[in-house]
Structure 1
C-alpha cells in the first residue's frame, strides 16, 4: 500500500531502497524556504542499520504489512534465543541482538509476538510492561521531598531504573519495557 512520505508514523514498516525499515522517530519540518518535509529516523529490520531520510509530501513509499504469530520464549543459549510457535510447537532460534535492549526483560515462558516477512522472522515484540523485583535500591536522601525526586534501583534482571523514594529492595514493580521506566507497584 503506497503512502505519502509525510504520512509516515513511528512504528510504520516501509520498503525503502530495497530494504525493510521501521520508522523509529519522525519530525515534521517546515523551513522558511522550500516545501515542508518529514525527517524520518529508520532502522533496517534485516541488518539493524539506522538512517535518516527526508521525505517530501510528493514522495510516496510502500508500506509493508508483516505477518504476526504468537510465540513463547523457551530459553537462552549463549547469544541465541529459542522460541516455540504456540500453534504447531515448532522451535526457532534467533540471535539475541534481534531484540535489542528489550531482551533484558525476556523471561522464561513469556508470550511474545513475532513479526514475519516472507515467512522470515525479522522482529520480536515483548509485552509493553513486565513485572520485576527490585534487588537493590539507594537510600532516600533526607530533605529531598520534591514530588519528582526519584532514586536509582537495580532490578533482578540487572536493569537500572528510577523509582519513587518509598520503593525498597524486594518490592515487585511494573516496568515499561521499551522506555525502561517505573510504571507502578505490582499488585
Structure 2
C-alpha cells in the first residue's frame, strides 16, 4: 500500500480509511479565502455499502489500496444473486446484485467481467465500459423538432431507458455507456 496526500485523491481510488475499504466516487478541490486548501471526497464503503463525505487537507495522508483483479464470466441471475464463473479454474461464485449497483442492468449471458478482490474477498465487479443493445421501443419523431438538440426516450432489450437521437428507431442496435447510461452511437 502507498500513502498519498489528501489533495491527490482521485475518483476511482480505493482507500483504507477508519479500518474500512472505500472507493472514491467524487472529489472536489476547495481553496477557501482563509486557511489551507482541502479535498472534499465522497466515498462508498466496499464492504457494507455505507457512503460518507470526508474533508482531507493537503497535510493529511491516506493509504491507497491495490486490489487484486481476476477475470470472471457472468452466467445467470438467481433471485437477487448473480452467479459468475472463474475463467481460470471454472469455479462458480455467487454475489449479491447490489454489489454491482445500477450496472447490473447491463449484464448479458456470457459477458466477461473483472472482479476486484481485497484479501481474497470480492468487493466490486467491473463491466465493460460500453455494450451493444437493441432498442425495443422508441417514441416517434415529433415533426418540427430540431435534430441537433432534441433526444427522445427509448427502451432497450434489457429494460433500461436511454435518450437517443431522433433518427434512431425501434429494432436498431446501439452502443450504450454502461456507467453513464447514455447513447454512444449505432452498433456496426
TM-score, length basis structure 2: 0.99
Equivalent residue number for residue 3 of structure 2: 2
Unpaired runs of 5+ in structure 2?
Answer: none
Equivalent residue number for residue 76 of structure 2: 75
Alignment coverage as a number of residue pairs: 187
1:47-126 counterparts in 2 under 5 A?
47-126=48-127
CA drift at 1:30: 0.4
- Structure 1 runs of 4+ with >2 Å offset: none
Equivalent residue number for residue 157 of structure 2: 156
1:184 paired with 2:177, answer: no
Aligned counterparts of 1:76 and 1:10: Cα–Cα separation in 2: 29
1:108-147 counterparts in 2 under 5 A?
108-147=109-148
Equivalent residue number for residue 44 of structure 2: 43
Unpaired runs of 5+ in structure 1?
Answer: none
Aligned counterparts of 1:89 and 1:148: Cα–Cα separation in 2: 48
Aligned counterparts of 1:21 and 1:4: Cα–Cα separation in 2: 16
Per-residue CA deviations over 1:70-110 (Å, capped at 9, x if unaligned) read: 00000100011000000011100000111000000000000
Aligned counterparts of 1:146 and 1:186: Cα–Cα separation in 2: 20
TM-score, length basis structure 1: 0.99
